[in-house]
Structure 1
């Protein structure tokens, strides 16, 4: 599979389906057909509209679309996006709130590099902005990165986080979502030995595979079933001639999307059939619930092959983080060296990707951290997405995370702890 032809074939299939959808919509919308109304033509147009939109979104990076929010003085606070640090494989971006004068909690949201763009955390960013100064790791699509930029594996990812934390300073509160949780923990441990003054103030790990064997899922079972040779042969392809990263070995986002969908195939099929019916009945809207979800879910990015393979081999198969034997540039990173960074884990009781038990395993590795600086929370009835972007996040988890940050602020000018979430929002600037 490691050929440009297979990558281009996959893109051709996607492009063809997008064209078929557009053609069906155009044919069914032909004005002359309006003289003889036909339900089958209306359904054909609806199928074409949904199909074209679906396959077009697979190669589009979504916009952040961060809306303004109302400040304490009643004025709208506009939000602009600025690049703090630019890199070949990712940027550190800052959501600057115009007109804000009061210092807010500085939060670094570490986005996953697992097939989706950092915009998957859009709703998380929106919910934090009234109370926090938010920075996000914005990873690039590997197909757009020239081969000359070199490799990017789990060690490079960790060092990117180290550079970001050094830049932001010790008053930073890290919130790592899903895949980067073990690497955010490793980056903090790396700084504990190499540059203690640059360690973050707190570290919140949300639904991450610290110890994948603590509670197995389909994801961890897959990692155990296949060999690294099989993964490299069947999952890795070279970027085709259409993109700047031509020749780079990647794990294609379209393959990742196919695996995502296969895990809940019936649910996705029913969702699209229902959406087609709604479009045919003229009951669908541009920004309805279906489009809002799938515009983000279907927008996938390629991962560097080195990152994908090293994640499977070292984090899942070798359990290097769970066994505390992870190394960077040949030097062991000892998680037990973390002694003054408050750490909180968050898990969803119904998470079928990083099941309960996988993330909380981090607390047992922190042998040098006092119990008073450790915390954990399991959100009942919450799945993987809900613990960082859904109702469970907004109503329960977000207030707990902010309270945890405040409780470990060290009295250095951070906002005072507010127990009531509604009061906290009212005090926001």
Structure 2
């Protein structure tokens, strides 16, 4: 399927579905049809509204939607998203709060590159803003990156993280969520050998596949059974003529979305059926729970083919991180070289994407780190989303992470941990239907 025609065919099908929804909505809105005492007309209009919105969201990057944050004195301050480091495949952004004193905790939140935008961590950012200066890796959609910018694989991803950490300096606390956990660990080890003074103070790894073989899930089983040739033949396409990245080989976001939905097809089908009937009864709204969740869930981005394939081959199949055999530009990266960065592991008991034990394997690799700088936490009853954006994160894990940061900030005074009070739209993933978004 390494052809542009297959990519353009998928985009054409999406466009057509969006048009059909818009047409049904428009037909159901005519005064003449309103005069018909037929509930089927209202159902058709509702179906069109839900369908048009759903297919439109698939090619739109969601907004961060964090207008204000309330600080200690009770005043509201605006939040500005500032680009700190700009690069072809991803930027380092800062959520700056003008008018308030800078926070002592400087946090780099490493977002996954696994089909969804960094805005998937919106609620995580919101919860950290009152207490921290928050920086996030904002990865770009591969379809918008010209082929002249070259490749982007797991080694390039690692070097991007190295550059971002160097830019922020040593007084930084890194939090990596799921997919980037092994590469963030590798980036820290790379700095430990190449530029020790640029290492972060702490590293928190949340639900990441450090050793996928430690506890099998559907994700790891898929990675073990499929061959690289099968993956390349069935998953990789070339960006079509509509986008700036025309000709670039990618794992298309629309194809990823189909896989996400198929993991819980019945749940999603029921959610959309219920929404159509709610809209038909006049009970739907632009920012109701369904729309708030699916506006984010359906917004997918293309991954470069080399990043997707090298992740499967080197992280899952070859277990290079788990075996401490990862290399960057031919140079071995020894995780045992990390001797001063405090490392904390967070896992969810019911995580069905990165099961308990996969992330915990990182501590065994840190042979040069004293036990006093190692910590781990298993959140009882929590699924994948709960440990970084759901109730478990807000109520238990967030305070735990902030205390870990404070405990490993030499000379820093005790800092109060406030309860987040941020005005923003949307709902927290993990609190709504559609739990299985691969991260």
Cα distance in 2 for partners of 1:50, 1:356 equals 37
After superposition, where does 1:133-282 map in structure 2 within 5 Å?
133-282=133-282
TM value normalised by structure 1: 0.96
1:390 aligns with 2:390: yes
For 1:250 and 1:190, the matched residues in 2 are separated by: 28
Q: Say how many residue pairs are matched.
A: 421
- TM-score (normalised: structure 2): 0.94
CA distance in 2, matches of 1:70, 1:233: 51
Measured after TM superposition, the shift of residue 15 of structure 1 is: 0.8
CA distance, structure 1, for counterparts of residue 103 and residue 239 of structure 2: 44
Tell me what 1:416 maps to: 414
SS at match of 2:246: coil
Which whole-Å deviations, capped at 9, do the CAs of 1:45-97 have from their partners, x for residues lacking one?
Answer: 11111011111000000001113122222221111011100000000001101
1:417, CA displacement in angstroms? 4.6
Residues 282-335 of structure 1, C-alpha deviations (whole Å, 9 max, x = no match): 111111111111100100000000000000000000000000000000010000
In structure 2, C-alpha distance between the alignment counterparts of 1:173 and 1:49, rounded to whole Å: 44
Q: Which moved more, 1:188-197 or 1:69-78?
A: 69-78
Q: Equivalent residue for 1:343?
A: 343
Q: Provide Cα deviations, 1:320-354, integer angstroms capped at 9, x if missing partner.
A: 00000000000100000100100011111111111
2:117 aligned residue:
117
Partners of 1:407 and 1:417 within 8 A in 2 = no
Unmatched tracts of structure 1, length 5 or more: none
Partner Cα distance (1:251, 1:88) in 2: 18
Kindly state the Cα deviation for residue 30 of structure 1 after the two structures are TM-superposed: 1.3
- Output the CA distance in 1 between the equivalents of 2:381 and 2:56: 33
Q: What is the distance in 2 between the residues matched to 1:254 and 1:129?
A: 32
Q: Which range moves more in the overlay, 179-188 or 98-107?
A: 98-107
Name the CA shift for 1:326/1:57 in 2 (closer, same or farther; >3 Å): same
2: CA distance, partners of 1:8 / 1:103: 47
Partner of 1:380: 380
Q: Which residue of 1 aligns with 2:371?
A: 371
Counterpart-to-counterpart distance in 1, 2:196 and 2:130: 30
How far apart, in 1, do the equivalents of 2:251 and 2:345 lie? 29
* Matches of 1:220 and 1:365, distance apart in 2: 20
